[in-house]
Amino acid sequence: MSKALIEAKFQFEGQTSVYHGKVRDVYSIGEDLLVMVASDRISAFDYILPKGIPFKGEVLNRIAERFLDATSDIVPNWKIATPDPSVTVGKKVEPFKVEMVIRGYCTGHAWREYKSGKRILCGIDMPEGMQEHDRFPEPIITPATKAEQGDHDEDISREEIIAKGIVSQEDYELLEKYTYELFERGTEIADAHDLILVDTKYEFGKSKEGEIVLIDEIHTPDSSRYFYKEGYEKRQANGEQQKQLSKEFVREWLIENDFQGLEGQTMPEIPESFVKMVSERYIELFEKVTGTKFVGDSSENPNARVQNNVDEFLKNYQAE
């Protein structure tokens, strides 16, 4: 198996700053460019697991590339190029401080809130009588404030976002429109590959020219949840768990091993068998959601590969 890209401490020509996230590292180049490196780190419950997952960053980056290209007719996006399997270079814009989370099914966070007795999520009413993984009558948008590093994202309503001036009403209405349209497109593509797009999140920014732009990744297993379409109705009718393609199985494994990121809990030892299984699940999702065979880069030194590929791109880009 390929070596994992874990530490992503690069120095690129024209670099002005760097932000190290839980999974991605974002390098600012000059005034107008961002270099986003999708590492093989994996996080759950806001903690980074101690071992990387080979090919994970490549899977995320290549899925995001496909979906950014497949939705560019709906909303312009930040991507300029993908000079490396794990890297996207794009336009720097001012990000909105909310994540547009959209849910087609009562799953994950929505189900945990519902199960606790709540029937309103982010100001949106949820119907009575729902079971876990039931489909909502219509997709619901449940925004979250974008957390600073180390903090938890928090649910927030449309009304609060506008009232607090986090996003203007005019801009928010456009974000809603784009979110519904992107989710519809993602649902159609998933359906064509016998999958159900359950929920996902989108992030947007505004360019210097005032244009709203889709940023970051979309429809990847880190930002989205998928069910297998085949057998969904039968499993639902029998009260069985749905077969998922998402990062939820990582959270479930940690919960089984007594870790949810709570005070006093210790991260369990991560066996190599688990690392291999997670890598295989990410590759499976790539192949299912794209309908193509995954052939990963098998570099023995992924850090050197990234450095060289980005250096070459920036040299040519700046020469244009």
- The pLDDT score that the predictor gives to residue 57 is 94
C-alpha span between 174 and 59 (Å, rounded) = 30
pLDDT given at position 147 = 62
pLDDT exceeds 60 at position 149? no
Tell me: pLDDT of 272 over 50. yes
Span 202-243, pLDDT tens digits:
999 999 999 999 999 999 988 899 999 999 999 999 999 998
Q: How far apart (Å, rounded) are the C-alpha atoms in residues 114 and 190?
A: 26
How long, in residues, is the chain?
320
Q: Is the dihedral of CA 185, 288, 279, 65 positive or negative?
A: negative
Residue 183: count other Cβ atoms within 10 Å of its Cβ.
23
The C-alpha atoms of residue 110 and residue 112 are separated, in whole angstroms, by 6
pLDDT at 22 over 90: no
- Percentage of residues in the chain having pLDDT higher than 90: 81
Instruction: Return the domain boundaries, the chain.
Output: 95-245
- Which of the pair, 152 or 27, is modelled with greater confidence? 27
Residue 156 confidence (pLDDT):
97
Cα–Cα distance measured from residue 105 to residue 93, given in angstroms and rounded to the nearest whole number: 32
Query: Is the overall model pTM greater than 0.85, yes or no?
Result: yes
Give the number of C-alpha atoms closer than 13 A to the C-alpha of residue 39, restricted to the C-beta side: 22
**pLDDT given at position 3:** 86
| Type of residue numbered 38 | A
Task: State the fold for domain 95-245.
Answer: D-amino Acid Aminotransferase; Chain A, domain 1 (3.30.470)
Q: Give 15's pLDDT tier (boundaries 50, 70, 90).
A: very high
Segment 189-213 mean pLDDT:
96
Would you say residue 318 has pLDDT above 90? Answer: no
Residues above pLDDT 70, as percent of the chain: 97
Q: What is the pLDDT of residue 150?
A: 47
**Which residue do the tokens 């290549």 mark?**
62
Of 240 and 249, which is predicted with more confidence?
Answer: 240
Torsion of CA 110, 139, 36, 34, to 10 degrees: -130
pLDDT of residue 251: 86
Mean pLDDT of 89-113: 96
Q: Region 273-302: what's the mean pLDDT?
A: 90
